[in-house]
Amino acid sequence: MKFALAGNPNSGKTTLFNALTGATAHVGNWPGVTVDKREGSYKKLGEKIDIVDLPGIYSLSPYTPEEIVARNFIVDEKPDCVINIVDATNLERNLYLTTQLLEMDVPVVVALNMMDVVKKSGNEVNATELSKKLGVPVVELSALRNEGIHDVMKKAYEVAKENRKGHSVLETEDFYDLITKVEEKFVELGESSPLFKAIKIVEGDEALCAKYPQLVELIKSDKEKYKDNDFGGDFEGMVADARYRYITANYADTIKKIDKKTESKSDKIDKVMTHRIFAIPLFIVIMFVVFHLVFSEDLFFINGISKGNAGISGETAINVFTGMGYDDIYLEEMTGVITEKYEEDFGDEADDKLNSAISYVANKVNVELQAKGEEIRYDDIDNLALEDMEIEDLQELLVYSGGDVEEVNPVIGIPSPGVFLQSWMGFVTGKLIDLGAMISETWPAWLSGLLCDGLLSGLDAIFSFLPQILLLFLFIAILEDSGYMARVAFIMDRAFRGLGLSGKAFIPLLMGFGCSVPAMMATKTLEEEHERDMTIRLTPFFSCGAKAPIWAMLAVAVAGSFLGDIFVFSIYLLGIVVAIISALLIKAFGKVKEVPPFIMELPAYHAPQFKNLMAHLWEKLKHFVYKASTIITAAIVLIWFLSNFGWAFWQGMVGIEDSILASLGRVLQYIYYPLGFTWGSEGWKYSVATITGLIAKEDVVATMATLGITEKTIALSNAQIYAFASYNLFTLPCFAAIGAAYGDSSKKGFWITLLWWLGCSYVVSLIIFWLGYLFEHVLVVGIIVALLLVATIILLFVYTAKKRKKVLAN
């Protein structure tokens, strides 16, 4: 048996589908999450029942792709029963679809969902009375709380065994004889659901009218009689009006509403969240808080305060949180850096070399002080330790040893939950690498290299960021599930309209923060081809989960790593800004077309469901582990081989500089040379990492680790790091996403999209690097160039707005 779930958008079909089938299909608290039908099975009735989750629809007219999918399924594939999910909190509007489903020759069960919300608000819906009026069973349900689910299935199973003839609520209308006339013809033709089809012909449904022109002709003269009525002979309007009149007149007594004059909780929250002026800044603040909680090493901004930036005494702030003063912490960091440097540079001789360096600097300081006629600073130079020296002398010692004082940047903040989790995970995976090294100590070099430098290092690099990324997705899932993200689409509509996109396009783009592939597929809901192409083009700019390990790694490497959260936040914002500028450019130089209006029902806010959130995270985790065990492992092994063997690989292992990968990487290095991040002897490694990102974006980090670059050993300036990040953000996404883009774009649009991604990544990265370079070296010129850039973008805005006005005026 096959049952179909049909209902309005966001009425809870997918939640019911998941509860029935045990699936973990993506549930979002916004309309339009399900674009295509989805199948699963229910096995608790003794017989296996196939369940089909149809996309949310308001009617059975063939206007939107979702309506077409749902209608074709019910008409052509004839399910044994249609379970019509009705949002009981919005009964009147939801019943509009029900009245159409009743016209089909298919058993129908109405499932009154969200009954828990109805009861909680003190309202009542009389299911028995409603069932009598509709002529089909009505069952109360709360899909979210798993209440009444089995009852719905039992009832559906019962009615599925019966043959049901469609009936209409339009029977009392004066134009019903037209419907009867066409219905008889359909019966003669042996068509299924003749009543439904007859009503559609009378309504002037394009698809059916084209198929049965003789039936259109049959009622043409009868229709003429209505051309002077209030609807000007528009039968679609007349039918819709008749349905609503019937619903209002007949169902009012099945609902008992407590007359509440006060605003609902959602309305109150929306007064702030969707405020004309504050909505977008609020969205930015909320996103910043999320990134701060996930990526900040300085949760309470102690670092900032300690340097006097906030005007509060740094000493006090640090004392409160750490019990130490800033100077003490700096001293500790400085001695650590010096000791580490000597150990790295001199190995066993480190202590001797360090002691002689201490003596040299201490002597020099004493001599200089004596020359000035002051007292000497160090009495017992032979027993002098680093900790006993003054900060300025330690700085001199570091410079004397070939180090850089700028690198001493103690992070003294309390880590955010994300960083805390990451350091623990890093600790665990680090121990696994140590264990691997211990086990493979006596193995041949190639085998221990494959295990430790290849597999373990590569997997460690991505797995150590896993908890942080799961935390990020937990926050995004909370925002989605609570209903806030639907508001974001709504508040973005006005801004998007100026860019040739509607707020509806923002939903696939938001999904892009998870994975570009389903996001691109969700563009099916957009009616205009140019809007679909444009949305697909912009989707990868909304940084997906697979790119998150790259940002997490670079966040640690950004100079002054307490800026990690700001770095990651700025990358996500940069993606949105470049998406907007891309849309502006395409609009400025392409044809301007107006997009259809965006109408969306804002779902009520509700507390995120723990089960939903965990299902979200579980899916992410499964996906991550699955990917790591397949495509990422494969890439790591290949990269390890290519980086440890030369072209004459039969001659055995070679140094990384003479490897196959190095020679290939050096060619690529020159292509990326203007972008800055491939400068220097290690530059080729970054170019190789960028290319392996095409397989899966996590491979960027895994490749770097296999080539010996970790978050602690990245030797790039901030400008280079930004250029590298932006190139990876905007360039071609992974192959799976390119496949999705090919499937859902127009042919011409797809090729333009590929070129756009390649061009955009190169140009944006180029601008960012040189701007950063100027900021680092010639600040004034950097500021002038930045201002010129901003001015160009503003001019672009003005130009496209004028162009749009002209088109609208015409």
Partner 1 sequence: MKWWEFLLMFVIIIILLIPTIIRFTKNKGSKGSCSCGCEACNKDCPMH
Instruction: Name residues contacting partner 1, limited to 334-393 (CB under 8 A).
Output: none
Does position 547 interact with partner 1 (CB under 8 A)? The reply is no
- CA–CA separation, 221 vs 707, rounded Å? 79
Q: Smaller CB distance to partner 1: residue 645 or 727?
A: 645
Stretch that binds partner 1, among 133-141, 150-158, 728-736, 798-806 (CB under 8 A): 728-736
Torsion of CA 466, 471, 475, 480, to 10 degrees: 40
Instruction: Name residues contacting partner 1, limited to 731-750 (CB under 8 A).
Output: 734-737, 739-740, 742-743
Q: Smaller CB distance to partner 1: residue 716 or 740?
A: 740
Does position 691 interact with partner 1 (CB under 8 A)? The reply is no
Does position 619 interact with partner 1 (CB under 8 A)? The reply is yes
Start-to-end Cα distance in the chain: 55
- CA–CA separation, 492 vs 274, rounded Å? 10
Does position 781 interact with partner 1 (CB under 8 A)? The reply is no
Per-residue three-class SS string for 516-577 = HHHHHHHHHHCCCHHHHHHHHHHHHHCCCHHHHHHHHHHHHHCCCHHHHHHHHHHHHHHHHH
Torsion of CA 428, 431, 436, 441, to 10 degrees: 180
Q: How far is the CB of 309 from partner 1 (least distance, A)?
A: 41
Q: How far is the CB of 496 from partner 1 (least distance, A)?
A: 24
Size of the residue set binding partner 1 (CB under 8 A): 41
Q: Which of 269, 411, 631, 660 binds partner 1 (CB under 8 A)?
A: 631
Q: How far is the CB of 643 from partner 1 (least distance, A)?
A: 13
Containing H/E element for 38? strand 38-42
- CA–CA separation, 610 vs 613, rounded Å? 5
Q: Name the E strands within 106-246.
A: 108-113, 124-125, 138-140
Q: Smaller CB distance to partner 1: residue 595 or 740?
A: 740
Q: Smaller CB distance to partner 1: residue 455 or 764?
A: 455
φ/ψ of residue 87, rounded to 5: -75, 105
Helix, strand, coil share (%) of the chain residues, nearest 5: 65, 5, 30
Does position 650 interact with partner 1 (CB under 8 A)? The reply is yes
Stretch that binds partner 1, among 116-124, 444-452, 656-664, 717-725 (CB under 8 A): 444-452
Characterise 65 by phi-psi region: left (phi > 0), alpha (psi -120 to 50), beta (else): alpha
φ/ψ of residue 444, rounded to 5: -60, 155
φ/ψ of residue 39, rounded to 5: -120, 145
Binding mask 157-186 for partner 1 (x = CB under 8 A): ------------------------------
Q: Which of 300, 420, 446, 797 binds partner 1 (CB under 8 A)?
A: 446
Q: How far is the CB of 515 from partner 1 (least distance, A)?
A: 4
Does position 514 interact with partner 1 (CB under 8 A)? The reply is yes
Tokens found for residue 362: 């201490």
Does position 22 interact with partner 1 (CB under 8 A)? The reply is no
Q: Which of 447, 559, 667, 778 binds partner 1 (CB under 8 A)?
A: 447
Does position 450 interact with partner 1 (CB under 8 A)? The reply is yes
Q: Smaller CB distance to partner 1: residue 673 or 751?
A: 751
Q: How far is the CB of 743 from partner 1 (least distance, A)?
A: 5
Q: Smaller CB distance to partner 1: residue 376 or 631?
A: 631
Q: Smaller CB distance to partner 1: residue 312 or 634?
A: 634
DSSP assignments along 362-403, one per residue: HHHHHHHHHHTTPPPS-S-GGG--GGGS-HHHHHHHHHHTT-
Q: How far is the CB of 7 from partner 1 (least distance, A)?
A: 20
Q: In sequence order, which residues have a C-beta less than 8 Å from that of residue 797 and are 6 or more positions away?
A: 498, 584
Tokens found for residue 380: 């017992």
Instruction: Name residues contacting partner 1, limited to 252-291 (CB under 8 A).
Output: none
Does position 616 interact with partner 1 (CB under 8 A)? The reply is no
Under DSSP, the state recorded for 632 is I
Q: Smaller CB distance to partner 1: residue 517 or 764?
A: 517
Tokens found for residue 349: 């001789």
Does position 630 interact with partner 1 (CB under 8 A)? The reply is yes
Residue 709: which of 677, 738, 735, 672 has the closest Cα?
677
Residue 215: which of 229, 205, 230, 228 has the closest Cα?
205
Binding mask 490-509 for partner 1 (x = CB under 8 A): --------------------
Does position 424 interact with partner 1 (CB under 8 A)? The reply is no
Q: Smaller CB distance to partner 1: residue 613 or 766?
A: 613
CB of 542 within 8 A of CB of 575? yes
Does position 25 interact with partner 1 (CB under 8 A)? The reply is yes
Q: What 3-state DSSP class applies to 264? A: coil
Binding mask 30-49 for partner 1 (x = CB under 8 A): ------x-xx----------
CB of 547 within 8 A of CB of 726? no
Q: Which of 255, 433, 637, 785 binds partner 1 (CB under 8 A)?
A: 637
Residues in contact with partner 1 by CB under 8 A are: 25-26, 36, 38-39, 444, 446-447, 450, 455, 514-518, 521, 619, 622-623, 626-627, 629-631, 633-634, 637-638, 641, 650, 652-653, 696, 734-737, 739-740, 742-743
